[in-house]
Amino acid sequence: MPRVLLSEWTKIRTVRATLWTLVSALLVTVVLGVLISVLLNNTFDDLSREDRATFDPTFISFSGTQLGQLAMIAFGILVVANEYSTGMIRSSLSAVPVRGQLLAAKLAVATALALAVGMVTSFASFLLGQLALGDHRTDLSEPGVLRAVFGTGLYMGLIALFAMGLTWVLRSPLLSFGVQIPFFFMISNILANVPATEKIGQYLPDQAGSRAMAVVDTGDWPYGPWTGLLIMLAWVAAAVLAGWLVLRHRDA
C-alpha cells in the first residue's frame, strides 16, 4: 500500500493542470471573499434593519466558496478522469490488480491534499475577510466561529471527494465536467432558491454542506450545521460506493 500511495502522489504532483485547480480554488475563494467583505463594509449602513439583524460576518468572508468549490470539483474530476482520457488506467490496474486498493489509495492522497488546501483557504478567507469588514468583523473566539472555519475547510475537501466518486462512475472527463459543473454552479442553486423545489434543494450535497459555514441562524433551514455536514457525508459515501462498484465490475 505505501508504494501505491506514492504512485498516486506522483501522478497528482506531476500533472500541472491538476495542481493549478487547487491554486485556483485558494485564490478565487480568498480574493472574492475579500472583495465582497469590502463591499459590504462600505455599504453596511444601507442594509435594512432585518439584514443587519441577521448579518453574519463569518459567512460573508466565505462568499468566494461558491466559485472556489468549482475548482475543487475540477480537481476531483481531473484526478480520476485523467487516467481514463490517457488510457493510463490500464497500466494502473495492471500494476495494482486489486481495484479497491487502487481506488482507496487515489482517494486517500487526493482527499488529504484537498483537505489541506481547503483548511488553508478557509482560514485565509476568514482572516482576510474580517480585516476587510472593519468594525463589523468578528473573531475566532466568538461562539460558532471556529467551528464554521473548520467546517468550511472540511466542506472544500468533501466536495472534491464527492467529485472523485462521481467521476469513477462517469469515467469520461467531458461527461464529468458536463454533468457536475453545471449542476453545482446553476441547478443546485436554482433548486434551493425556488419555493416549489426549496425543500429538495436544501438536501443536496453542496447546499447541506454549506450550512457549516454559517454562524448566525436565520431560521430558513430545517437543520443545523452539523446535520448539514452529515447529509453531505452521506452523499459523499454514496458517490464513493457507486464509484467502487463501477470500478469493480467494469472493464477499463
Q: What digits encode the pLDDT tens for the residues 142-182? A: 899 999 999 999 999 999 999 999 999 988 888 999 999 88
Show the CA angle centred on residue 191, arms to residues 185 and 196, nearest 5°: 165
**What's the rounded mean pLDDT across residues 28-48?**
90
What does the alpha-carbon distance between residue 2 and residue 105 come to, in Å, rounded to a whole number? 9
Q: What is the pLDDT of residues 62-87, one digit of tens each?
A: 999 989 999 999 999 999 988 888 87
- Cβ neighbours, 10 Å, residue 1: 11
Where residue 137 falls (left for φ over 0; alpha for ψ -120 to 50; beta otherwise) is: beta
Check residue 252 and give its pLDDT: 61
pTM for the full model?
0.92
Is the pLDDT at 96 greater than 90? The verdict is no
